[in-house]
Chains A and B, each alone.
Chain A
Amino acid sequence: MAMDAAEIQRLIKEGIPDAVVKIEDLRGDGDHYAAHVTSSQFAGKTRIQQHQMVYQALRGNMGEALHALALQTAVPAE
């Protein structure tokens, strides 16, 4: 079971519409990605809450179809 980068990008943007998403396929096996997500909706939230927003956008795939997603979140610079 795996996911492709476009699918991850689509889900995150559907869940967090203004998100700027950069995805890197770490091993080319569809199971190990790094994602950098920037969104103004992260403002004022802890890192844990920001990451939880991304996991919710991924609708339960995280930890299931998607084994590893090295995640970094950020708020757009003013």
Chain B
Amino acid sequence: MSDNPVFDRIRQEIDQNQVVLYMKGTPIFPQCGFSAAVVQVLSELAVKFKGVDVLADPSLRDGIKQFSDWPTVPQLYVKGEFVGGSDIIREMFETGELKQYLEQQGVASAAVDA
């Protein structure tokens, strides 16, 4: 698989940040309902995350889809691993699986630190 130059940037972002959400818009101003849904789940779990706006960079918008072989945005990464898009994140949140997974990954929620 020829390496897309954007892949290095993505690898760096997901390695340097415990939780990264590639989304449309920003956490404060999501530009799409699905992205907003994941932002809301993460804030309800009080999880600190880095939001990356793919609308700001067309090469990233396509590159992220090739990187994970996943056709849509948003995409959530925890400790460098692709966890899912908005359907999977919402399903995991509703079953309590997401909270458990984050704890297993040692991603403490802000509330617990305080």
Contacts and interface: CB of A to CB of B under 8 A. Distances in A.
Interface of A: 47-48, 51-52, 55, 60, 62-64, 68, 70-72
Contacts of A72: 87, 91
Interface centre among B72, B82, B85, B91 (most CB of A within 10 A): B72
A72 B83 CA distance: 15
Given A48-B88, A51-B87, A62 B82 contact: no
A48 B84 CA distance: 6
A51 B70 CA distance: 9
A32 to B, nearest CB: 10
A68 B91 CA distance: 16
B87 A70 contact: yes
A58 B91 CA distance: 22
27 contacts: A47-B88, A47-B91, A47-B92, A48-B70, A48-B82, A48-B83, A48-B84, A48-B88, A51-B84, A51-B85, A51-B87, A51-B88, A52-B69, A52-B70, A55-B70, A55-B71, A62-B71, A62-B72, A63-B65, A63-B71, A63-B72, A64-B71, A68-B34, A70-B87, A71-B87, A72-B87, A72-B91
